[in-house]
Structure 1
Amino acid sequence: MRTKPIGVVGLGIMGSAMSASLMASGRDVVGFDIDAARLGEHAGRGGLTAASATELAARCDVVVTSLTSSRALEAVLTGPDGLCVGDAPGLIIIETSTLSPDEKSQARHRADERGAVLLDCPMSGTGQQARSGDIVAYLSGDSSAAKAAATEILLMMCRAVYDVGTFGNGTRMKLIANLLVAVHNAAAAEALVLAKRSGMDLDGVLAAVGDGAGASRMLAVRGPLMISEDFSTATMRVSTFQKDIDLIAAFASDVGSPTPLFSATADLYRMAVEQGRDDEDTACVFGVLESLNPRP
């Protein structure tokens, strides 16, 4: 019996990378995106396409969603052309978007009403990392069978899959991880600006510091972009990450957790927005720091 294709809704930076990994693993992938250009690019990579999320759900048992907002997820789930139009018994939805815990819970409730199983499974990693399969999945949900089916698919596009327990823990884990991403990215930029201002060879600094106790994943991933000072090809746009910054702040506030380092770091990303860097990679905090005390 021929294996059904896997559905991917949302073919942006992360969704397109994940769908490419699935196809590289030999699976057929039906893609859908409201952006016709993205849909065309997916077809150009050898992917199958659907005219709507409803059509995609009819052709797939498992669907990966990668979306930018809770409004987009609501439309994809229960809109007029959504995945769960009518009943969707047995449909497994691997929801990878970064949203708030409450927004994920609301989405699960909508899916449950239609007989679908929605798993909360954000990804840790940039678009660049996703293209090489170097991302980590934080899988959470309350159906062991659905999680087992999801894990098989996730391992085709991720370096590792962590079952972090009950529904919602995936989002909590992602927000904790992104707090560190925000701080480490800014710390890498601050260190490289210091190296530049002191006349050091930045490629040498990156190699030496990256091999010592000061190493971090963000220094390794974003350090080369900072050195090049070309932030135009974004693997994580400032505009997208600003949404994550707001989610982390709200999450920490809700549980009463102090975040002095994160709060200081968040100001740099807000400055990036104020400087019109919305579409640049978050490595541009290097440029933001440079602008704070310009050299004569």
Structure 2
Amino acid sequence: MSAAGGGPVAVIGLGSMGGGMAHALVAAGFPVVVSNRTMAKAEPLGRAGAVVATSARAAVTGARVVLLSLADEDAVTDVLFGELSGALVPGTTVVDTTTVSPGFAREAADKLAADGVRRVEACVVGNPQMAAAGRVRVFAAGAVPDVDRVRDVLDAIGQEVRHLGDTGAASVLKLAFNLLLGVQTVALAEAVSFVEAAGLGRELLLTAIENSGWSSPVLGFRSKFMRERDYRDAGFRAVLMHKDLALARAEALEHGVEMPLLRQAVDDYDLVLRAGRGDDDAAVVVEVRPTPADRR
């Protein structure tokens, strides 16, 4: 199988989600070329059948679809408008799964369009295991013909693909999802801290939650890290949680909406980063609790 327009699919960024999506594409029969700054992350994909490129620029040679899964807006700027400047031929479609602000998404689409390159916003919801199985949920935005052109790629990585409308719409929805995730994770951490301060163990609480109406796949995933007190390998790094919550808060303020719970979650994850725990899973917030002074 090949992507719409022929040629391989280039996947740039092989973190937990990007690597998983690349595996799903290989399993679906696509010719896949991968690139990552840390080459060791590309080795499992090479064994699975992907071609491992020596650079992002080499990876996109001959590709008509380029899937990005990067950490943040700075990384997208460095790769898309730095390393790949002039390397994407007109007619190429960039499927960007990076979580960015709606404004950045629109700016990136406009810059690429000036060079004849299309951008499909493809925000994904799920965890690394779902990504590797091709079972994430994909919320796409951009021109309908552009989304249709890469529908086979989106179907290979997602159990559900939904087109939301113009560029920026998918970023808004993804930030809303991560807002809920961040606030719920902080709330779970507070519940754990509360019962431990009262003399009960976290195991008792987390087990009780799992067997109650408060259970959910999202909280269950974070509970596993909290129960084991082992926050590597991270499903969703705390530094990325902080980034997404800060993006959501900035977007809300731009629209005149104040969100006190979101503000507090941003502050809590700021403490996590200052404690040097940014590469741990976001559940590590339970180990870095604010003091009363931090709440002032």
The reply to whether TM is greater than 0.5 is yes
1:15-42 deviation per Cα after TM superposition (whole angstroms, max 9, x unaligned): 1111011112222211122333333343
> Could you tell me how far apart the structure 1 residues matched to 2:217 and 2:269 are?
19
1:209-264 deviation per Cα after TM superposition (whole angstroms, max 9, x unaligned): 23433223331111111111111321111122221122111111101112111112
Contact kept in structure 2, 1:117 and 1:146, CA below 8 Å: yes
Query: Scaled by the length of structure 2, what TM-score is found?
Result: 0.87
Aligned to 1:271: 271
* In the alignment, structure 1 residue 27 sits paired with structure 2 residue 30: yes
Two-structure CA RMSD over aligned residues (Å) = 2.4
Q: Could you tell me how far 1:64 is from its partner in structure 2?
A: 0.6
Please, which of 41, 55, 58 is the counterpart of residue 58 of structure 2? 55
Moved more, 151-160 or 169-178: 151-160
Number of positions where the alignment pairs a residue of Structure 1 with one of Structure 2: 289
1:161-216 deviation per Cα after TM superposition (whole angstroms, max 9, x unaligned): 22111111011111111110111111222223344455656556445423433223
Moved more, 122-131 or 222-231: 122-131
* Secondary structure in structure 1 of the residue aligned to 2:222: helix
* Secondary structure in structure 2 of the residue aligned to 1:267: helix
Query: Scaled by the length of structure 1, what TM-score is found?
Result: 0.87
Aligned to 1:104: 105
> Could you tell me how far apart the structure 2 residues matched to 1:213 and 1:102 are?
38
> Could you tell me how far apart the structure 2 residues matched to 1:152 and 1:203 are?
43
Q: Relative to structure 1, is the Cα distance of residues 206 and 133 closer, same or farther in structure 2, using a 3 angstrom cutoff?
A: farther
Aligned to 1:94: 95
* Secondary structure in structure 2 of the residue aligned to 1:224: helix
Aligned to 1:215: 215
> Could you tell me how far apart the structure 1 residues matched to 2:178 and 2:241 are?
9
Aligned to 2:131: 130
Percent identical: 28
Moved more, 167-176 or 146-155: 146-155
Contact kept in structure 2, 1:11 and 1:42, CA below 8 Å: no
Aligned to 1:236: 236
> Could you tell me how far apart the structure 1 residues matched to 2:37 and 2:265 are?
34
> Could you tell me how far apart the structure 1 residues matched to 2:48 and 2:195 are?
41
* In the alignment, structure 1 residue 119 sits paired with structure 2 residue 125: no
* Secondary structure in structure 1 of the residue aligned to 2:94: strand
Contact kept in structure 2, 1:73 and 1:107, CA below 8 Å: no
* Secondary structure in structure 1 of the residue aligned to 2:11: strand
Please, which of 35, 49, 69 is the counterpart of residue 46 of structure 1? 49
* Secondary structure in structure 1 of the residue aligned to 2:156: coil
Aligned partner letter, 2:168:
G
Contact kept in structure 1, 2:231 and 2:283, CA below 8 Å: yes
Aligned to 2:20: 17
* Secondary structure in structure 2 of the residue aligned to 1:154: helix
> Could you tell me how far apart the structure 2 residues matched to 1:9 and 1:230 are?
28
> Could you tell me how far apart the structure 2 residues matched to 1:172 and 1:186 are?
21
Q: Could you tell me how far 1:292 is from its partner in structure 2?
A: 4.9
Contact kept in structure 1, 2:9 and 2:64, CA below 8 Å: yes
